[in-house]
Structure 1
Amino acid sequence: MIRWPAFAVVVEQSRSDMCRGRRREIAMCRWLAYSGSPVLLEDLLFKPENSLVVQSKHARLGVETVNGDGFGVGWYGAQDTPGTYHSIEPAWNDRNLRELSAHASAGRVFAHIRATTGTAVQQTNCHPFRHGRWLWMHNGAIADFPLLKRDLTLAVEPGLFPDIEGSTDSELFFFLALTFGLQENPPEAVAQAVGLIEETGRRHGVEYPIQMSVATTDGETTWAFRYSSEGRSRSLFHNADVATLRLQYPDNPVLHQLSDDARLVVSEPLGDLRGAWREVPESSCLIVKGGREELQGFSPSPARAPNSP
């Protein structure tokens, strides 16, 4: 089985860039998106030196070190729709998560640890959110969400509205993206959702309406977005090509156990192997399918009515 402790990079410069000259944010979250050969969940969540469970107590690249307001895991297995497990306990304190992670394996996994920006700590507010075959998770916030919530909620397509279960800005963001065609064209749907959020925020006098790193998947492809109205987005990284890493580190057994198409997108790296990670640029969308990656620029688009040309 794959082991991940050394699969990471030194990122001191990115850490200082994240902290220098920024205003203090309310909270943050951390997440990872994996695709490749099947791995035990514990190999992603517990085994790495800077695993997601470690980050739930000691995050390195954010303005908050503790993400203890619940967690969630989503994975694709034998069923048509992905499985999910959510808990309001801190990830480091959930015995069921450790038990599940030691036995469940999957070739596509989303995992998220939460630090609330003000909405309730409850299971329906834990990421990743699911709709049909789609999963969605978000790090960041819609600024002044209580002020904007009514206008944004009324923009959700009526047929989708009954499926909203929680009270977070992140889930509402997901349903706005679904409204604008996430299932047909994810980058354009997210661009329109962000465009609507920014237009609504600025209409209400909010200077920087959104801060985000977002991941979404249909079980075949992962789309990861890094953007903020301020132009100073939350950290986001993806792993370097595994075949290249094997050549760079021929004596590292971890890398020889990975499939060539293994890909991770993470809020922050999982350890200290230099050169194993690349930062996702500001205002961009990373598309991962199999062992292929495509990086595109990302910017908001004017929101159009659903199903309009």
Structure 2
Amino acid sequence: MCRWIAYIGQPIFLDSLVTQPKHSLVEQSLNSKLNITPAGKLLSTNGDGFGIGWYDKRPDPGVFKDDVPAWHDENLKNLCHQVQSHIFFAHVRATTTGEIQRTNCHPFHYKHWLFQHNGHVTDFENIRRELQMEIAPELYPYLKGTTDSETFFLLALTYGLVSRPKEALQAMVSRVLEALIRTDPDGALNLSCALSDGQSLYTLRFSHNEDAMTLFYSTDIHCFDDFEGSNSCMPNNSTVVVSEPLDKASEKWTEIPNNTFTTISGQSVNTETFFDDNSLSAITQMSS
């Protein structure tokens, strides 16, 4: 289980979200409040690596990540203090799949796309080969690590993410469910994802056979106040998406429902159903 944030809007410095707020992402790497495991335990520490990805003058994003804890890396603090971006991702990792190594840290990127994920699939080791055989041959060389997350991203790219984000994610989730249910009918799939092409921000919240990972967004200009005298505000026409709020003011945050696909541009947030009941039933029945 992991924690992540994603921002879209007027350019801000990355430290406005990553290090400065009262409950910043770096603080969450040490002291998460909502990172509940499937067994019902609070996973307060997310110290198995970190990563940031941002867009600036070029269409492809910059990416910086490492396998050390986020709170331990002064380079992360210094970089976030200097880099300004209109769209950026940040992620702190608590691994359930894959070794603690840099290639397994999020976000993952391909050309002008960024992807980050919180969640898991039951017994990924048992379906890994089947799923990775589905990755398009031209994309397979981009598979560098051993996480389920990277496999999900490359599958979505295989199924047309570049031109049809929602449909590609539907195809990816359908394929993962097919493999999962055939291998373990009682297995779980949990996805809390953020994706961007440098123009828009997309999120997916979906779960099968267990409670969904938490996911919230805010357009409130005060959503990352640090409550210690800072006058820092989020610019107008901007949105931040988080695994858990950056402060304790819950009225500033809207929970993104489960089984939804959300498209965000500036302050425009459009949430739609990901799978309708008939589609989801068809997938699970075909896989049984």
Which one of 264, 267, 270 corresponds to residue 294 of structure 1?
Answer: 270
Q: Spell out, residue by residue over 1:241-267, the C-alpha distance to the aligned partner (whole angstroms, 9 max, x if none).
A: 549x9xxxxxx9544xx3221100100
SS of match in other structure, 2:82: coil
Partner of 1:138: 117
Partner of 1:8: none
Q: How far does residue 33 in structure 1 lie from its aligned partner after superposition?
A: 0.4
SS of match in other structure, 2:22: coil
Give yes or no for the alignment of 1:261 onto 2:240: no
Q: Spell out, residue by residue over 1:73-102, the C-alpha distance to the aligned partner (whole angstroms, 9 max, x if none).
A: 000012221000001110000011111111
What amino acid sits opposite 1:94 in the alignment?
D
8 Å CA contact 1:144–1:209 kept in 2: the answer is: no
8 Å CA contact 1:197–1:209 kept in 2: the answer is: no
For 1:197 and 1:209, locate their aligned partners in 2 and report how far apart those are by CA, in whole Å: 10
SS of match in other structure, 2:30: helix
Q: How far does residue 163 in structure 1 lie from its aligned partner after superposition?
A: 1.2
8 Å CA contact 1:213–1:236 kept in 2: the answer is: yes
What amino acid sits opposite 1:283 in the alignment?
N
What amino acid sits opposite 1:71 in the alignment?
F
Q: How far does residue 206 in structure 1 lie from its aligned partner after superposition?
A: 4.2
Partner of 1:32: 5
Q: Spell out, residue by residue over 1:246-302, the C-alpha distance to the aligned partner (whole angstroms, 9 max, x if none).
A: xxxxxx9544xx322110010000002342110001111111012211010112778
Structure 2 gaps of 5+ residues are 37-42, 224-229, 284-288
8 Å CA contact 2:97–2:120 kept in 1: the answer is: no
For 1:277 and 1:155, locate their aligned partners in 2 and report how far apart those are by CA, in whole Å: 38
- Identify if the C-alpha distance between structure 1 residues 188 and 201 changes in structure 2 by more than 3 Å, giving closer, same or farther: same
How many residues were matched structurally?
A: 267
Partner of 1:81: 60
8 Å CA contact 1:231–1:282 kept in 2: the answer is: no
What amino acid sits opposite 2:257 in the alignment?
P
Q: Spell out, residue by residue over 1:50-90, the C-alpha distance to the aligned partner (whole angstroms, 9 max, x if none).
A: 10000001111012111000000000012221000001110
SS of match in other structure, 1:111: strand
- Identify if the C-alpha distance between structure 1 residues 234 and 274 changes in structure 2 by more than 3 Å, giving closer, same or farther: closer
Structure 1 gaps of 5+ residues are 1-27, 246-251, 304-309
Q: TM-score, normalised by structure 2?
A: 0.88
8 Å CA contact 1:143–1:206 kept in 2: the answer is: no
Partner of 1:57: 30
8 Å CA contact 2:195–2:202 kept in 1: the answer is: yes
Which one of 173, 181, 199 corresponds to residue 220 of structure 1?
Answer: 199
Q: TM-score, normalised by structure 1?
A: 0.82
Give yes or no for the alignment of 1:233 onto 2:212: yes
Q: How far does residue 209 in structure 1 lie from its aligned partner after superposition?
A: 3.7
8 Å CA contact 1:239–1:278 kept in 2: the answer is: yes
8 Å CA contact 1:44–1:52 kept in 2: the answer is: yes
- Identify if the C-alpha distance between structure 1 residues 127 and 100 changes in structure 2 by more than 3 Å, giving closer, same or farther: same
8 Å CA contact 2:205–2:260 kept in 1: the answer is: yes
8 Å CA contact 2:188–2:210 kept in 1: the answer is: no
8 Å CA contact 1:242–1:261 kept in 2: the answer is: no
Partner of 1:179: 158
8 Å CA contact 2:65–2:105 kept in 1: the answer is: yes
SS of match in other structure, 2:193: strand
Which one of 245, 270, 278 corresponds to residue 246 of structure 2?
Answer: 270
Give yes or no for the alignment of 1:164 onto 2:143: yes
For 1:290 and 1:235, locate their aligned partners in 2 and report how far apart those are by CA, in whole Å: 22
